[in-house]
Each structure stands twice: as structure tokens, then as C-alpha cells.
Chains A and B, each alone.
Chain A
């Protein structure tokens, strides 16, 4: 088990293994997302209250979940990189940030599109979840800005890992403070999620799994590029590029 783990942490080994895994994740994710979207958009009955508008949930919930998941991955792999000095895990953190920011943006957009017919406004400043998600987006921006403004990769890795860790402690506080704040403001946006019908829930689960698999495939591809770039001066990359099979 540990041997396998240590092997995985070595860039050339990871580069070979990930090539085998990424397409499978991508294809199975695509199939699940296509099936879930078809179910969610055409098969599932209309909501008695929200009509067809609720169907955006099948994109909104998975992206909101992945926006937080990506931050967790970014911060934990940054911490692993800081503590055990595993280079690969810094590459994981670097690769996860833009994807996470993308999903955060997607969650905000779909939430805003959903909010228009439901709450009558594109943006509700009083909603705690919208605020937390927006702050999360800013955290991603800060993280990527810090990374891009330090030229030395090792230094950028460590500095941004510290920032991500400070951020993760703060995300909890942000969440609670925003919640406290909005309970003062008496927003009209109190909509509690009741129990969902199984017909509606199963496609959502399929979408969640599909999105996660797609995310995994995207992440692996980005890590591969990141690893290749970081190891551009090493021998294994040169040998791989110059080998008759070329850089696959």
C-alpha cells in the first residue's frame, strides 16, 4: 500500500498512471452527466411550486459542491506539500485552483439565474450562501494572484499553501458570520429544502457523481500539464519526448 503511494508521488510514475485513468474518468463522467441531464431536464416531473425552473438544480448543486471540494483538495494537498515536502501535491494544489474558481463561478451564475424567477432578483445580497460563495470566489482569486506573482515555483507553492490553510480556517468563520449577519437582516429568501422526491433526487445523485468524475478527469489533465511544465528540465521528460513513441 505505502509503496504504491510513494510510487504515485513520483512525477514520472504519476504521469504514466494518470494517462490511463483520466480518459476513463472523463468518459464515465460524461455518460453519467448526459444521462442525469436528460433525466433531470426531460423525464423528471415539474415541481408543483417552482415549475420547470427548479431543473437548474441539476447543474447548480454539483457545481456548488465541487467549488468547496476543490478548495478542500487545494488546501489539503498544499498542507501535505508543506509538511512532507511532496512536490506532486503542490502541483495538485496549483491545478485545482482554476477549476475550483470555475465551478464557484458556475455555481454563482446558475444560482443567480435560478434566483431571477424564484426571488425576483438576479442577486440577493441578504442570502448567506450567495455571500459565502462569492467570498470563496475572492479567496480563489487571491490564491491564484499570489501564485502568479511569485516567480520561483517552490516559493510560490509554499506561500500559497500557507494562504490556503489560513483561508480554510477562515471559510468556517466567514460562513457563520454571514449566517449570523443575514439572520439579522430578515431576508425574504428563506426557502428551506423540504424532502425531495426520489424521482427528483436520483438524477441529482447521478449528476453529482458525474460532475465529480469529470472534475477528477479535468484535475488529472491539469496536473499532468503542471507536472510536465515543472519537470521540463529533468531527464525523464527529455527521454519521453525524444523517444520514438513521442510525448504521450
Chain B
């Protein structure tokens, strides 16, 4: 489709990476202007991590044992919280329609938005997580593994979540529904991530989990934008 419009169109259309860069830049700029949207999931992340010791008790070995799991569950929930706003504001002010009618391939534009979402939600989580991990008495060598798994895992979560966000974009009960759709699909990511960290903490071989998370991230990087684009077209018919 783009091929024909390229040859017949009156002027040259920029390459596919132009659209990706433009959407990423725009979303980053929007996030910069509204820092609350970036900070709220981070506060949520910190608060969920605070809840667990209060609920199960503050004993040292318990914290050490449950630390990786708690951090991962909190990161998963915080990402879900931020996913809701991925397309909502664009849907409300009509710029989503502009994306849909643009001559640029929609999967690339979607990828740009998802990339911006990861940079403003996943990456900050990864950067904040060491502080919380240390309060859970995690050794420094394990903290590095945890940051790596969280980094790879949140990429997949953003991409997977973008499908759910696209499916629920115009719906009234979107928020709860999004969690219901994405949580079962996101379970493997959490299983792989949390267990790799637990294995690292007990000096076991943890590389299996890292490789699997990397494979998951690559697979979702190449497939999820297409599903998201299809879902966006369906929900905006």
C-alpha cells in the first residue's frame, strides 16, 4: 500500500523510522509536561513494596526470601496502572485518528508510542528498584540481576500491555478490563523474572530465566506492534 502511494504521491514520504521517532518524541515531550503521569506509578510501586513487610512481618529472612517476588509483583501492577493511559488521551483528543489515517505504517507508530511508554514507566521502575531491593536486604550482586530482569521484563510488559490497551481504548470499564486481559498473559514474564532473581539470590544458575526473558522481549518486539495496530483499527472502526 505504501509502495504505491510512494510512487504515485505528489511528494516524497519520509521513511518508516521517521514516524517511529516522531511519535516517541511527542509522547516523551507530553510526559515531560505532565510529570505526574510518570511519577504516580513509581509511587505506587514503592507503596506496594512497603505494604508487604507490613502485612507479612518484617523479619530479615522473610524479607530476603520474598524480596524478588514482591518487587516483581509490584512492578507488574505498576506497569498495568500506567498502561491504561497509553492511548486514552490520544483517543479523547482525536490524535489517535490522525495516527490511523497517517500514511506511515501503523505498527511503527504504535511501536514508537510503546517505546515512549517504556522509557517513562519501565525504565524509571528499573532505576528506582535498587533502593527498594536494598531495603529488602538483597545483596548488591543480585540487585544487578534484578535490574536486568526488570528491564527486559518491562519491555515485554509494555508491548504486551499495548495490545490490551488498544483493545480496551474506547470502553467505559476499560481499567479493570485491561488488568483482567493482561494479567494472565503477563504471568510468564513475572515467573521468569522473579525466579531468575530468586535463583541468583541462592547462588544458583539463573541464566535460563534471563535468556527466556530476552527471547520473550524480542518476540513481543517483533509481533506485538502488529497485534496492537490491528486492535486499534478494530476499536476505532
Contact, CB under 8 Å: B191 / A178: yes
| Interface mask (A173-198 → B, CB under 8 Å = 1, otherwise 0) | 11011101100100000000000000
Q: With an 8 A cutoff between CB atoms, is B140 at the interface?
A: no
Nearest Cβ on chain B to A159's Cβ, whole angstroms:
5
Known: A146-B167, A150-B171. A141 touches B180 (CB 8 A): yes
Residues A163 and B181 in contact in the complex (CB < 8 Å), given A149-B173, A173-B216: yes
Size range of the chain A interface in the assembly:
20 to 34
With CB as the reference atom, state the residue of chain A lying closest to B174: A149
Interface residue stretch chosen among B8-16, B25-33, B100-108, B182-190: B182-190
Interface residues of A in 131-166 (CB under 8 A from B): 135, 138-139, 141-142, 145-146, 149-150, 154-155, 158-159, 162-163, 165-166
Are B227 and A162 in contact (CB-based, < 8 A)?
A: yes
From B160, B199, B234, B235, contact of A184 by CB (8 A): B199
A149 partner residues in chain B, CB cutoff 8 A: 168, 171-173, 177
Interface presence of B49 (CB below 8 A): no
A142 CB contacts on chain B under 8 angstroms? 177, 180-181, 184
Q: Is B237's beta carbon under 8 Å from chain A?
A: yes
Give chain B residues whose Cβ lies under 8 Å from the Cβ of A154: 237
Does residue A7 face the partner (Cβ distance < 8 Å to B)? no
- Tell me the smallest distance from the CB of A161 to a CB of chain B, in Å: 9
A162 and B184 contact, CB distance less than 8 A: no
User: CB distance B173 to A180 under 8 Å?
Assistant: no
Interface-central residue, A162, A174, A176, by most chain B CB under 10 Å: A162
> Is B195 in the interface zone, CB < 8 Å from A?
yes
Is B163 a contact partner of A166 (Cβ separation < 8 A)?
Answer: yes
Q: Is A126 an interface residue (CB 8 A)?
A: no
Alpha-carbon distance between A135 and B186 when the two chains are bound, in angstroms: 10
Q: Which of B163, B167, B195, B235 contacts A181 (CB 8 A)?
A: B195
B188, A158: Cβ atoms under 8 Å?
no
Contacts of B184 in A (CB 8 A): 135, 138-139, 142, 167, 170, 174
Q: Which of B168, B172, B188, B237 contacts A173 (CB 8 A)?
A: B188
Mostly, the A contact residues are: helix
How many contacts between A and B, using CB within 8 angstroms? Answer: 77
Which residue of the partner chain, among A139, A146, A184, contacts B195 with CB atoms under 8 Å? A184
Complex Cα gap A141–B230 (Å): 22
- Whether B167 lies near A177 (C-beta < 8 A) is no
CA distance A2 to B237 in the complex (A): 31
**Which listed residue, A146, A163, A167, A177, touches B192 by the CB 8 Å rule?**
A177
Complex formed: what's the CA distance from A145 to B195 in Å?
Answer: 30
User: With A166-B163, A177-B212 known to touch, is A158 a contact of B177 (CB < 8 Å)?
Assistant: no
A146 touches B168 (CB 8 A): yes
Contact A181 B237 (CB under 8 A): no
**In the bound complex, how far is the Cα of B171 from the Cα of A181, in angstroms?**
35
CB distance from B99 to the nearest CB of A (A): 18
CB distance from A83 to the nearest CB of B (A): 11
Give bound CA distance, A158 to B185, whole Å.
Answer: 19
Which residues of chain A have C-beta atoms less than 8 A from B231's C-beta? 159, 162
Across the interface, which residues of B come within 8 angstroms of A155, CB to CB?
234-235, 237
Q: How far is the CB of B231 from chain A (nearest CB, A)?
A: 5
Q: How far is the CA of A154 from the CA of B234 in the complex (A)?
A: 9
Measured in the bound complex, the distance between the Cα atoms of B183 and A178 in whole Å is 15
Quick one: closest B residue to A181, CB to CB? Answer: B191
- Judging by beta carbons under 8 Å apart, are B188 and A145 in contact? no
Tell me which residues across on chain A come within 8 A of B172, comparing CB atoms.
149
- Cβ of A141 to closest chain B Cβ, rounded Å: 7
User: Which residues of chain A are within 8 angstroms of B223 by Cβ–Cβ distance?
Assistant: 169
- Chain B residues whose C-beta falls within 8 Å of the C-beta of A184 in the assembled complex: 195, 199
Q: Which of A166, A176, A178, A180 has the most CB of B within 10 A?
A: A166
List of B residues within 8 angstroms of A146 by Cβ:
167-168, 177, 181
Contact A166 B177 (CB under 8 A): no
**A170 & B227 in contact (Cβ 8 Å cutoff):** no
* Most interface-central of B187, B216, B230 (chain A CB within 10 A): B187
B195-237 Cβ-contact flags toward A at 8 Å (1 or 0): 1000100000000100010001000000100010011001101
What 8 additional pairs, Cβ within 8 angstroms, besides A162-B227, A166-B185, A174-B185? A135-B184, A135-B187, A139-B184, A142-B184, A173-B188, A174-B184, A174-B187, A181-B191
Closest 9 CB pairs of A and B: A177-B188, A138-B184, A158-B234, A142-B181, A177-B191, A142-B180, A173-B188, A170-B185, A181-B191
